[in-house]
Amino acid sequence: MSSDKQARQNAANGQLLPERVAELAGELSDASSQDRSLRHRLARQIPELASKSGQLTWRGIQAGRGAAWHGVQSGSGAAAKRIRPVTEVAARNAQAGAGVAKKGARTGGGYAFRGLRAGGSWLATQAMEMAPKVPIRDLGTLRRQYPGRDTEQLADSLILGASRAAAGVGAAVGAAAAVPFIPTLPLELGVETLALVAIELKLIAELHEVYGMPAPGSTTQRMTAYLGAWTERRGVRISANGLALSVGSPLRRRLERRLIAKAGQSALSLAPLLAGAAAGALIDRLETRKLGTLVRADLQKRATGALPAGG
């Protein structure tokens, strides 16, 4: 494939990734109360999407890891070549070799840090693009799908469904990775992180519907508000100027940090096959349930008048 054609393909993948992740996450969450085999089939499409995308390369982190390893090898090689038994020259050369290794490790660490920041920025951009595409059920639809349940029972069902969906993603990515070590933010991890964010965004938005406090505005404005709520781990707060997630804004920076932390949490799913699948399922389930519980508690307080709507 020519470089121009590959570039166009990568651009198309980048444009389609947020939309497809949002779609899959929505289907997976909605199927949480249905047949388990359906949930598994949907969850397996997350790592398949990662393998097809080719968008997340995390070059900065890979370059950093390579530079650090090259430095260690160079230092070790220099020390090995120069060492002579029990001489002052041997000690000096060993120190020189260690210095080369240390310098290489520092250089690699710098690359890794810059790559990590770039990864957080990329994830934030993708999450902001993805958020308006996440399918949200309004209260009427939820009542029809969960008949006979009161507000609290409906909230219980949503949190349970989202935690099951998150567990399915973690298990599927862990099973697909099957690697002997935990890599640093590979493709699967980036897509898994976005899928989990989409599931949790859907949960937050639908909890707001259940408690009668949906965010105002257009679809993009509402989902941006829910993305801010996801970042803050509480219900939507609307200031006089609304919610802004522009580049360089404090909320944007907090979003990036939360996404990096989320990716670190998800890294457990990339442990060796069985351990990774089990760890990913457990951690993702617990974290999504915890987030849903925190947002729900905040909305309950506001519903009873314990917390002002803009507080």
pLDDT of 233 over the 90 cut: yes
Lowest-confidence region among 32-36, 55-59, 93-97? 55-59
Report the C-alpha gap between 85 and 77 in whole angstroms.
Answer: 16
pLDDT band at 239 (very low <50, low <70, confident <90, very high): low
Question: Does 311 map to a domain?
Answer: no
Q: What are the pLDDT digits (tens) for 1-32?
A: 444 444 444 444 445 788 999 998 888 888 86
The domain total for the chain is 1
Report the C-alpha gap between 61 and 109 in whole angstroms.
Answer: 9
Question: Does 92 map to a domain?
Answer: yes
Mean pLDDT of 207-234: 93
Tokens linked to 308: 């002002």
Burial grade of 151 (CB within 10 A; 0-12, 13-18, 19 or more): middle
Output the pLDDT for position 278.
80
Mean pLDDT of 41-62: 62
Helices (H), 131-150: 139-145
Q: Which domain holds residue 239?
A: 3-303
Question: Does 308 map to a domain?
Answer: no
Output the pLDDT for position 311.
44
Mean pLDDT of 235-244: 68
Has this prediction a pTM greater than 0.85?
no
Question: Does 143 map to a domain?
Answer: yes
pLDDT above 70: percentage of residues in the chain: 59
Question: Does 142 map to a domain?
Answer: yes
